[in-house]
Amino acid sequence: MLRSRRLHPVEAALFIAALLIFAGTIYVATRPGTGSSSSERVALSIFPNAWGDYVYNSTFLRAHVGSVVEFTITNFDPQSHPTVGPYDNVSGTRNGMMWWTGGMMGGGNRGGQELNGLTPDEISHTFTIQMGGYELNVPIPPAANGSGPSVITFTVQMFGASDLTWQCDANDMGPTTGPDGGMMGILAVS
């Protein structure tokens, strides 16, 4: 007789990450909106590769002109990469904010909050597009060490067809930031 068992939260997170890894490009169009825009969702994860570097699970993303895209980024990297300048503030999202679920920062749990930025030492990665009329930057906090990932959600109104380069602009990312390193990619808006 087979017995079922519950997955430990870490096992569940790893299972979900594995699904995202094998899915390649993550692109799901959902819920047509009212009026001329529709809603789409893009899900990304930052996880360790075979060499122990933390990288995004997909480097090619898609969206449609006129759509409102909800991005969800799940970060399994527990390290921060202190980053200053414009990269510690949220910019280019629909309301200038991001929603943070989970994670421990500043000595306490700050997850479950809408934020317009992080302190420089709270940044693990960024999701940044600075071309084609977009000035998008979202700082991503590190995972809570041993208690699960940090999850960021934000929305962006897409305008104009273009292939947009996105990248991580966090400090100390080294060779992982290159085009083959998993910290840079294309968002194709058509």
The pLDDT tens digits for 13-34 are: 544 544 444 343 333 333 333 3
How far is the C-alpha of 18 from the C-alpha of 101, rounded, in Å? Answer: 20
Domains of the chain with bracketed CATH: 41-189 (2.60.40.420)
The pLDDT tens digits for 79-104 are: 888 887 888 999 999 999 999 887 65
Rounded to two decimals, the pTM is 0.76
Mean pLDDT of the chain: 77
The pLDDT tens digits for 95-133 are: 999 998 876 554 455 567 899 999 888 899 999 999 989
At 47 the pLDDT is: 87
At 92 the pLDDT is: 96
